[in-house]
Structure 1
C-alpha cells in the first residue's frame, strides 16, 4: 500500500481541524473560554499524530527487518566458532583449563533457548596435578528466557551422558570441586529449579585425604513413571572405604517444582552395615542450605557415620537412632533424638555448626538406664559378650582377644585426626546405671573438645553412699596424645564397694587416682603413666576371724571361722599408697590396722603387662602360741590375681610400735592428697594422736597439715 493516500487524508483532516479551531477561537474571544481550551487540546493532538504515524511506519519496518536478520543469523550461525572463546573465558574465571571438545549446537531464537555440546573436559587446578575433574561426553541444557531478565534461572532440562567426575580434597582442605578461583564462599550449595534432570551412565570418584575417605561408584538419575505416579529417582552404587555403598533418592515430579513450595523426597543411603534413611523436604527447591527430614540411622558403630557425615562420633556398640534433622545454612540440628545404643537408651538433642574451620558440635544427651559395659567401646574395648548383650562381630572379636590375653586395658589405636577435626560441648546425664564393677547409681559428665584437647570436667558418678568426682583430659594436639586422669572417691562404704557374703568388712572408704601418660591407646598411655594412687579406710569394722587370719593366727582365726562366730573388731585405719613411674605402681606403704592385728605390705602393679605382685605381712598385737610367720601374697593378672601364702620363709617378729611408726608418718603426709578433711575422721586422726602420745615420731608439720 502507498504511503501517499495516507498522507493526503491526514492533510485534509489537519485543514478541517484548523478551521474548527479558528471557529472555536472566535467563540472564545466572545467569552467562551472553555471552548478555546478544548480547541487548543484538539489542535495539539492533531499536530502530534502526524509525525507519530510516519515514525511508526518507518520504525516498524526497520525493527521487523532487524528481527528477521537476527533470527536468520542465530539459525544459520555456526556456534562451533565460539567454542574456543567460551572455553578460554571459563578457564580464566575458574583458574583451570576448560575445553569444549565436541560439536556445539545452540537454539537461541526461542522463549526456551537450549544448547548441546558433545564433549566437555574440565581440568584439575594446578595444585592437584595433571588430570581432569570432569569429562562429560554430552551435555544438554535448556532454560526459560523470561525469568532471566529478573535474575532467576529456571532449567527446563539438564542432561549429562557418560559423565566421569573425579573429585579430590587434600590434607590442607583444598578441593577440586571449588570453582571460586581463590574467592572463598561459605554459602551452601544452591541449584536452580530443574524441570527435567537426567544422568545417564555417570561415574563418580571422590578422594578426601582430610577425612581419609574414598568413594568410587556409578550414578544415574531420571524421571520415571511408577505406580504412585511420576517422580524423580537418583541411584548410586559403588564402594566407600572398602564397604559396599548404595544410594537411592526419590523425589516428587520435577515438572511441577515450585520455588515457593517445599520439594518432598525420600533417601536411603548405605555403607557396609551402616544405613541412613530419611523422609523430608527441601524448603526452597533446590537450595540445599534449607531442608528438614525425619531420619533414622543404624549400624554396628556410631563412629562409622564419620564416612557419611564428616562428624567425628565415639565408638559404640550397635545402635539404632531416629530424630528430626534440619538444616538452616551452616547449622544442622537433630531434635527429638531417641533410640538405643547397645543395651542402653539415648535421648536428647544436638546441633552442628559448620561455618568455621572445624565443625562445632553441641549436645544435651540423656539416658534413663545405662548398661555400663556399653561404655567400653568408647575406649576401644568391647561390651560384654554374655548371652543377651548387644555387641558387633568386630567388638566380639576384640573381646575374645582381650580375654585370651587376660587384659583389662584396650589397645585399639585412637584416631587423633577425628578428634582434631571438630570442636564440641556435650553434656551427658544418666539416671540409672547397672552391670558396673562398682555399685554406681547415676552419672553426669560434661565433655568439651577444643582444637584437639578433649576434657571431661566435671565427671560425677553417684554411689549408694558417696560419689566419684574428678576430671580427665586427652591432649591430641601433638603427634603423641597425652592422657591425664584425676578422680576422687569420697564418703563411700566398704561393704558396698566390696560386697562379700555375711559382710565381714564394713566402714568408710576414700581414695584418689592421679595419673598422666602418653600413647595413642588406653593401654599405651597407662604403660608409661606417672602419678600416684591412694586408698584410705579411716574407720570401720572387720570380722574378728578375718582379722586374726590377716595376722596368720591359725588357731584363733580358724577356730572363729569354724564356730561361725560373727564377732567383729574395729578397723583403726587402713592405707594403701602407690607411686607410679613409667607404668609401674610401686606400693611404698600398705598398712591395715585393727585391734588385734596390724598388717603392712608392699609390691608392684605393672600396667604394661597388667600383672600385680603384692605381699602383706601381719603382726599380732597380743601373744599368740601358734602363728605362721609367712606373708600373704597377691600375684598374677590384674583381671584375676591369686591369693596365697609365701612358704619356705620365716619372718622375724617385730614390734607393734615399729609397725605403727611406719603407718603414722606417711599417713600424715598423704591424707591431704586424698581429702583435706579426712584427718578429722574417727580412727585415723585418733591413731595419729595416740601414736604421738606413745612416743612414735610423728612430724609436727605433717600432723598439722593432716588436721586441716
Structure 2
C-alpha cells in the first residue's frame, strides 16, 4: 500500500464514488414518468398496429366480409331495404375509400309507383376519406353500369322517393354528392311530379371522344311531358382529363317542347354541382309563359320571344343576369333571381324596355297571343253569339299563382301606339300568397300623367279586383290629336278618376260585375268652334262661321263633367254636363260591361238665339268594338215633320219655325261639376237643382 502512487489512490476513490451514485435507486416521480411514457408508446404502437392490421385485412379481403353489416346499417339508417346481390367491396385503396357493389338495390317507399329507388348492375366509387369522416360527401370518380334511378313526388307534392327516414317526413330537395368524374353506361333516370304535371325519362351513357381534348363525355338524352305537352332533351357533361384533380366540367343542354327551344352551355364546378356554375342561356319560343310552366308558375302571356342571359346559382339562388332580348316587336333587358325562402318559390326581377309595341301589351291583360300574332290589333276583337267583344276573357291561373310569390320592377321608356301618346311607364308588381298588386302603375300620356293602383285578391273565391285609376290634368289638344283634333285653338284640359270593384277570374268578368264610379272633368278652357257646333247641329251658325272664315275660332268651355255610376257592370250617365259660353251640352244613357253595348245620346241647348238649329240628340250605339253614331235622330225627324206640316198649312216660311232655337239653356254652376258630383247634386248658376241631367239610374227596360 505504501508503494502505491497517491494519484492512483485519488482516481480510484473518484471512480468508486461515481459507481455508488449510479447505483443509487430512482425517485418515485421518476419511476412513474417512465412507466407512463412507456405505456403511451405501447398504446400508440398498438393502435398503429391495429390500424395497419385492419387496413391490411381490408386490403387483402377487399372488405367483402362487411357486406351483411353494410346492408343492416344502411337499411336501418334509411328505413329502406338495401341489398347487394353480388360482389361487395369496401376498403382503403390506399388512402381513399373504395366501394364496389354488384346488383345493389335500394327500395322505394310503399306509395311510389316503382319498387326501387335505385338498382344497378355494378357501382364502383372512389371517395375522399378525410372529408367523408367530417360529413362532406365527395366522390373523386364514379363508375356506374346499367343503373336505374326512380325520382318521384307523391300526388300531394309532400313526399319524394329520395328523402330517407320516416316516410311521412316532408320531402327535401335533391342533394347529390359532389362527383368530380364519372363513367356511366346504360343508366336510366325516371322523374315524376304529378303536381307540376311533369314526367321525364332520361338515358345516360359515357361516350369515348376521339377527336376532342376530352377523354370521356357523359351524354344524356330523353324526353317526357310537361302539362300534357311533350318535350325532348339532349346534352352532355364534357369532362376534361384534369377534372379528377379539381378541374371544371363543361355542360351543354338542348331542350325542345311546348313551342320552346332552350340551350344552356357553360361550366360546372363538378359533374353534379350546380352551385357556382358559370352558364349561358339562350331561349326562344312562341310564348314566354310556356317556359315558366317549367317552374309551375304563371306569368302574363307574350308574343314570340328570344332571350339570352348569364345564369349561375349562388347561395341557393338562381341568378339570371345581363338578360337581353325581345318579345314580339318590343325589347326587354334586366336581371332576375329565383329563390326558395321558407320552401316557397320567390321571383325577384328588375326589368326595363326602351320601346314596347302596344300590340305586345295585349297578352299581358288576357288577349290571345296567337290571334294578335296573326291579326295584329284586329286580334283583340272576337265574336260572341254574333256580336263583337273587346274585353279580354283569359282566366287568371289561380292555382299557378298560389305556388309562388314575386316582386317585379318594370320600366318602359316609350309605348308605340297610334293615337295614344304614352311614355315613361313605371310598374311595381307584388304577389304575396295570391294577392297581386300593381301599385303603383304610372305613365305619361299627352302631357299628363296616369297613376293607378290595382289589387287582385285570389286568396278566396270569387277573385276580387279593386281598380283605382287617376289621370292628372292633360291637354285635350294633345290627347285627341290622333283623332283629328289639332292642338292649335284648343287649350282645354281633362282629368279623370275611375274607382271600381268587381268579382271574377277574368278582366271581362270583373268589369261585368263591378260597382263604382267613372268621372272625367273638364276645367275651363277653349275648344274649336267646329267641334261645338257640329255636336249641336246648329246648321245656321256653322254655315255662317264657315263663310266668314271663322271655323277655327275657339269656343270657351266653362266647365264639364262626363261621369257614370256603375252598378253590377252597367254604367249610367250621372251626369254628362258640359257648359260653354254658347251652349250647354247634356247626355243620357248607359253602357254595359256585361255585353259591351252602348246606348248614349248627347244634345246641346243653345244659350243664344239661332234661326236654324237641329238641337236634336246625337246617338252613340253599337258595341265597344264597333260603335255606331246616329246624327239623324227620331227627334230631328219629328221636328222635320212638324216643319213640313207648317209649310203645307201656313207658308214655306213657317217651316223654319220648327228649327228655331230661342237660346234658353240653363248655365251650370261649375262647383259641383268640377267636384265630380252626381246628377242629384248639380245646380244652375242660380242655385236651383237641374232637371235636365237625369237621375243617374238607368230607365227600366
User: Where on the TM-score scale, by shorter chain, does this alignment land: which range?
Assistant: 0.7 to 0.9
| Aligned partner (choices 475, 478, 494) of residue 493 of structure 1 | 475
| Aligned partner (choices 120, 123, 128) of residue 140 of structure 1 | 123
Please give the residue correspondences for 1:372-451 in structure 2 after superposition, counting only pairs within 5 Å. Answer: 372-382=358-368, 399=380, 401=382, 406-435=388-417, 438-451=420-433
Contact 2:347 2:406 in 1 (8 A): yes
Instruction: Report how many residues are paired.
Output: 636
Please give the residue correspondences for 1:616-635 in structure 2 after superposition, counting only pairs within 5 Å. Answer: 616-635=602-621
1:193: how far off? Answer: 2.2
* 1:351 and 2:319 correspond: no
1:94: how far off? Answer: 3.4
Alignment RMSD = 4.4
Q: Structure 1 residues 175, 28: CA separation in 2 closer, same or farther (over 3 Å shift)?
A: farther
* 1:221 and 2:199 correspond: no
1:495: how far off? Answer: 1.2
Quote the Cα distance in structure 2 between the aligned partners of 1:206 and 1:321.
Answer: 28
- Unpaired runs of 5+ residues, structure 1, are 1-24, 386-390, 674-686, 699-708
Corresponding residue for residue 249 of structure 1: 235
Quote the Cα distance in structure 2 between the aligned partners of 1:584 and 1:502.
Answer: 30
1:638: how far off? Answer: 0.9
Quote the Cα distance in structure 2 between the aligned partners of 1:549 and 1:394.
Answer: 35
Greater shift in the superposed pair: 140-149 or 567-576: 140-149
Please give the residue correspondences for 1:168-567 in structure 2 after superposition, counting only pairs within 5 Å. Answer: 168-171=153-156, 173-179=158-164, 181=166, 189-200=175-186, 202-209=188-195, 212-229=196-213, 230-241=215-226, 242-253=228-239, 256-258=242-244, 260-283=246-269, 286-310=272-296, 312-382=298-368, 399=380, 401=382, 406-435=388-417, 438-499=420-481, 500-501=483-484, 503=486, 506-561=491-546, 565-567=551-553
Cα deviation 1:176-212 (Å, max 9, x = unaligned) = 3333536679787242324323151515241231xx3
| Aligned partner (choices 559, 562, 576) of residue 576 of structure 1 | 562
Q: Structure 1 residues 573, 68: CA separation in 2 closer, same or farther (over 3 Å shift)?
A: closer
Contact 2:145 2:186 in 1 (8 A): yes
- Unpaired runs of 5+ residues, structure 2, are 1-10, 640-657, 691-701
1:420: how far off? Answer: 2.0
Quote the Cα distance in structure 1 between the aligned partners of 2:582 and 2:44.
Answer: 127
Q: Structure 1 residues 75, 349: CA separation in 2 closer, same or farther (over 3 Å shift)?
A: closer
Corresponding residue for residue 93 of structure 1: 77
* 1:696 and 2:684 correspond: no
Structure 2 residue matching 1:316: 3-state secondary structure: coil
Contact 1:120 1:137 in 2 (8 A): yes
1:697: how far off? Answer: 5.0
Contact 1:133 1:167 in 2 (8 A): no
1:246: how far off? Answer: 2.6
Structure 2 residue matching 1:250: 3-state secondary structure: strand
Cα deviation 1:235-290 (Å, max 9, x = unaligned) = 22223223332323333326532474433323323333222222222235543333
1:469: how far off? Answer: 1.1
Contact 2:178 2:270 in 1 (8 A): no
Contact 1:454 1:473 in 2 (8 A): yes
| Aligned partner (choices 125, 128, 141) of residue 156 of structure 1 | 141
1:87: how far off? Answer: 5.6
- TM superposition score normalised by structure 1: 0.78
Cα deviation 1:465-506 (Å, max 9, x = unaligned) = 111112111111113321111111112011111124362755
